[in-house]
Structure 1
Amino acid sequence: MPTFFSNSTISVVVVISLSGPVYAAEICQGFGPQAPRDITKVEGTNPQSFPFAPPATEMNLCNIHIHTNAEHKGPGFSRFVGDGEYGGYKCNESDYLNEAELTDPTHGKGAFKGVKPGDTIEVHWVHTSCQVAPGKSLDACLSDGCANPTLRVETQVFLVVNDIGAMDFNDLAYGGNIVNGLHQPKYIPSTTGKPVEFLGSTTGPSYNQFTCSPLQVTWSVRPNCAKVNYNSLNAWAENGNVFEEDHSDGVRQLVKAVELLSPIR
């Protein structure tokens, strides 16, 4: 298991082997706290801090996107899938689905690519302090007059199933919903445990512990999985959405170095 340490000039990963320590890549320096993380662990020693974002209801929804498998690790999604772009974690109930829930009615030809029944996904509802309309990618979260926004990501991990009794993703999407003059998702699950809130960064497979993200994000991660209907994801993609989302993204592997994490209060 890697051991992390630092001094005033360098921070490295030391991989312990039978023949002695092997020095690997340098942990990124000078960046604020990173994400994703194990939300059951509160330790973090990153010295940089910034104010927590306002509640999502006081910000504009600017983007919704989806990752295959959970980027974060939590009580309800602790089963490690593997390293790499489509690794991460899966819901603990993944191995207990019945045949009907695992049946793919599209035979691999669903409109939302990269996901099938039985998969785990992590959904990010990104909110911004900028006065912008929802759109494609995180570019929609800023503007020429608001290049350094306050960002908040509301997060829910889902187990994708072939079951009309599961949540309908279209009920969780945007669809032009405006509340008190602000763009808002229609609904975010409220029955999957109290969200764990912490300071971090943007995620995605282009970042790791050695290539860090510079953006500052307040995260709100719900600790348990919910089930979402596979056909509703396909309908969201097939009918078109303002985010132009039609596939699931890869993951950033878990950040474990406490030097890169904020403390969870």
Structure 2
Amino acid sequence: MHPAYRTLGLVITVGLLSSPALAAEQSHGHADGGAACVGFGPQTPRDINSLAGENKRRIALAPPASQMNLCNIHFHKNAEHKAAAFSIYAGEGDGHGYQSGYQCTISKTLTPAELAPTKESICDSEHGNLKPGDTIEVHWVHSSCDVQPGAGLGACLSEKCANPDLRVESQVFTLVNDPQALNINDMDYDGNMVNGLHQAKRLPTDTGKPVEFLGSTTGPKYTDQTCSPLQVTWSVRPQCAKLDINSVGEWCKNNAFKEDHAHGVRKLVTNPKLLAPITK
């Protein structure tokens, strides 16, 4: 059995990948002289306000999330992607990314009550615990495979379906200490089935039309020289929303995906040769 590795902030068992993807993963995408990866598909995360991209790999968009099985939910500390609403630079690499920006009205209007410390530590990890005012990016991962939701990206694959279409629905949230804000448990799975498919109870709305583009899995192990071999269709909502931090703490204690902390992020991909063009 090959060792596990992390992408999308999750654990994948390499043995489940198709042979071309496995070969690419084992090569780690290294190019001579530190040049950008050669031969890989478009990479993620990116600035969703920039439509430019020169990656020539032709990859079909995945079906809508409603036509796929939800296979995992997880979140990252700070936004992995960048947009006008989440553009405050928090630093490079694992555990950094972007925070709710100046064009996110939320960041300018948080009250002392919303920023009040929580009674208990929330989702402790190597990146520290979560605090009111923090930014997180939540990912709802969907697969074309006939799979059950579970832990890690391995839940999105199976021996009978090792090379699926993957889609990630993404939403950036500002955490507030307010039970009247959105509750992440209302957007959880909890065994919800729709037309025979595993689905989240609901996905975020009222945060702008999702920006759809082709990319990859993410995570701090990947760089411009170490590309992800997996192909993912992304739907990233361009506006942020308030999320009750206490609901996130409850979710970290009990969810079907065995997620108990925020994952780190990959440095923003800006090399146009590693990005697909966005068509709006």
TM-score using structure 2 length: 0.83
| Correspondence for 1:115 | 130
> Residue 66 of structure 2 aligns to a residue in which SS?
helix
How far 1:234 sits from its partner (Å)?
A: 1.0
> Residue 34 of structure 2 aligns to a residue in which SS?
strand
| Correspondence for 1:179 | 194
Preserved CA contact (<8 Å) 2:123 2:262: no
How far 1:112 sits from its partner (Å)?
A: 5.7
Deviation digits for residues 121-163 of structure 1, max 9, x if unmatched?
0000000000000000100000000000000000000001101
- Which AA in structure 2 matches 1:124? H
Alignment of 1:250-265 (within 5 A): 250-265=264-279
Give the whole-Å Cα distance in 1 for the aligned partners of 2:190 and 2:49: 34
How far 1:84 sits from its partner (Å)?
A: 2.4
Give the whole-Å Cα distance in 2 for the aligned partners of 1:128 and 1:11: 30
Alignment of 1:190-209 (within 5 A): 190-209=205-224
| Correspondence for 1:103 | 116
| Correspondence for 1:57 | 66
Structure 1 residues 136, 95: closer, same or farther in 2, change over 3 A?
same
Give the whole-Å Cα distance in 2 for the aligned partners of 1:231 and 1:209: 36
| Correspondence for 1:18 | none
Alignment of 1:55-204 (within 5 A): 55-92=64-101, 93-94=106-107, 96-107=109-120, 109-111=121-123, 113=125, 114-204=129-219
- Which AA in structure 2 matches 1:257? N
| Correspondence for 2:36 | 27
Structure 1 residues 235, 38: closer, same or farther in 2, change over 3 A?
same
How far 1:28 sits from its partner (Å)?
A: 1.2
- Which AA in structure 2 matches 1:180? N
- Which AA in structure 2 matches 1:251? V
RMSD of the alignment, in Å? 1.6
| Correspondence for 1:244 | 258
How far 1:117 sits from its partner (Å)?
A: 1.1
Gaps of 5+ in 2: 1-29
| Correspondence for 1:4 | none
| Correspondence for 1:5 | none
The size of the alignment, in residue pairs, is 243
- Which AA in structure 2 matches 1:118? G
Give the whole-Å Cα distance in 2 for the aligned partners of 1:189 and 1:112: 25
Displacement over 6 Å in runs of 4+: none
- Which AA in structure 2 matches 1:87? H
In the alignment, is residue 212 of structure 1 matched against residue 212 of structure 2? no
Give the whole-Å Cα distance in 2 for the aligned partners of 1:104 and 1:192: 26
Preserved CA contact (<8 Å) 1:94 1:119: no
> Residue 101 of structure 1 aligns to a residue in which SS?
coil
- Identity of aligned pairs, percent? 57
Larger strand proportion, structure 1 or 2?
1
Gaps of 5+ in 1: 1-9, 13-23
Preserved CA contact (<8 Å) 2:118 2:131: no
Give the whole-Å Cα distance in 2 for the aligned partners of 1:111 and 1:83: 22
Give the whole-Å Cα distance in 2 for the aligned partners of 1:25 and 1:96: 44
- Which AA in structure 2 matches 1:162? N
Deviation digits for residues 155-207 of structure 1, max 9, x if unmatched?
00000110111101100111111101000001111100000000000001111
How far 1:96 sits from its partner (Å)?
A: 4.2
